[in-house]
Structure 1
Amino acid sequence: MRKALLLALAALFPSLAEAHPHVFAEARLEVISDDAGNIAELRNVWRFDEVFSSSVLMDFDKNKNLKLDPDEAATVGQTVKDSLADYGYYMNINANGKELKVAQPDTINVLYQDGKLLMFFIVKPAEPLPLKGRILLGVWDPTFYTSIDFNRDEDMATDGKAITACKRTVIRPDPDEVMKQNQDKLTAAFFDDPAGTNMSKLFAIQLELQC
């Protein structure tokens, strides 16, 4: 049963996929601070493309009523929660040059609306993350199979009294410049490497906080 679920959601599991975008998601990230001056929560919303969404519906709509009933949606969410744990739920945090991990979310909520699969969940830093110095936050798949995009700068949001003291900048790399500056590294071997190279962060949109 579990193997079947993993295969059905293979596009979300980098170890099962080739390293170039096949699945596309529009995302929103909200960075929440607490009263102690730390980043307390990272709230994620992912809305997937219609092709991928329909494939998930086809595999998990067991009663064939063309929607995800609560139990079916919960199965999708639990599968994603278990399987993306090794990839930190695509959440990337760099605090003053140090890479930080996140704890598992309590749950990944799933809805199927207007022909698209919607996932929303909260992760927390695995260790205290004070709002000091330079902090970079981004959401990306290290293997390039899933493209997670923030269409507007406002889709990388902040909230909380402490975080208002930080300067907020959304960094959007120019893909042409990235390709030009990394021609020797972005070879066919990179795009076909199922293990991933993590060079996808060169193309990733990131939120920079200067506190």
Structure 2
Amino acid sequence: MRWIAPFLICCLPFSATAHPHVFIDTGLEFIVDESGQLTHVRVTWAYDEFYSLLVLEDMNLDQDADGVLTETEEQILSGFDAQWVEGYNGDLVVFADGVPVALSGPMEADATAENGRIVTSHIRAVDGGGVPAAALTAKAYDETFYTAYEVTRPVKVSGPESCKIDRIDPDIDAELAQMRAFLLTLDANYDLEENDIPLVGESFATEIIVTCPST
């Protein structure tokens, strides 16, 4: 997906617009209890090499540049991306039978490095204790597309072994064609401060579908 950014830039009639600056490989773990209730979601983010380098340099970590963090460095890094402003949804939406699931802020945040890439994880609790996991859908995306999420890391269910996971990947070619058609309607005088930039992040998001048997 990282070739989307240069596509957007080269096709725009102006220099500033929303396009990915950070690329994250994402993994999800849906934690379901014995009664068939989704109680938590564990989220894993693996940042791209360039952004990881910037963060590590800014925090004065991995000074030997071997791409491996010490235990102390991991403790310092853990939670750097878990300081969320009020109202931030964590770039994750979950629905249960079509109804939005309210999730807590990040808990149990940790971090490490894999081949020079920062990999973090956190857990989010379902408000109210849980919701039925019979029909869940989830998408990880930043609607502004400043951050591009791609679900390339494991997606799993911890709980009933009979739960099934499916995914619907976006039609990238079709979405890019639609975006390009829109961009070509704009001119160099298009005022980004007075006009909203199209929120295209969801268009490039993979939909995860989890179905668990009713208990």
**TM interval, short-chain normalised:** 0.7 to 0.9
The one-letter code of the counterpart of 2:43 is: N
Partner of 2:39: 40
The one-letter code of the counterpart of 2:132 is: P
The one-letter code of the counterpart of 1:115 is: G
Deviations 1:1-26 (A, max 9, x none): xxxxxxxxxxxxxxxxx632111122
What are structure 1's unaligned runs of at least 5 residues? 1-17
The answer on 1:174 being equivalent to 2:171 is: yes
Note the C-alpha offset of 1:100.
2.1
RMSD: 3.3
Partner of 2:131: 129
How many residues end up aligned between the 2 structures?
188
Partner of 1:82: 83
Give the secondary structure class of the aligned counterpart of 2:88. helix
Contact 2:56/2:62 (<8 A) preserved: no
Moved more, 90-99 or 172-181: 172-181
Instruction: Give the number of the structure whose alpha-carbon radius of gyration is greater.
Output: 2
Give the secondary structure class of the aligned counterpart of 1:54. helix
Deviations 1:123-153 (A, max 9, x none): 1222321123x3211222222111121237x
The one-letter code of the counterpart of 1:129 is: V
Note the C-alpha offset of 1:199.
3.5
For normalisation by structure 1, the TM-score amounts to 0.72
Partner of 1:92: 93
User: Aligned partners of 1:68, 1:105: CA distance in 2, in Å?
Assistant: 22
Deviations 1:93-141 (A, max 9, x none): 1223322221122232111232111101221222321123x32112222
User: Aligned partners of 1:171, 1:90: CA distance in 2, in Å?
Assistant: 18
What are structure 2's unaligned runs of at least 5 residues? 1-16
The one-letter code of the counterpart of 2:150 is: D
Note the C-alpha offset of 1:70.
4.8
Partner of 2:5: none
Partner of 2:8: none
User: Aligned partners of 1:95, 1:196: CA distance in 2, in Å?
Assistant: 30
For normalisation by structure 2, the TM-score amounts to 0.71
User: Aligned partners of 2:186, 2:57: CA distance in 1, in Å?
Assistant: 33
Q: 1:47/1:160 Cα in 2 relative to 1: closer, same or farther (>3 Å)?
A: same
Partner of 2:152: 151
The one-letter code of the counterpart of 1:95 is: A
Moved more, 67-76 or 45-54: 67-76
Q: 1:188/1:25 Cα in 2 relative to 1: closer, same or farther (>3 Å)?
A: farther
Contact 1:91/1:102 (<8 A) preserved: no
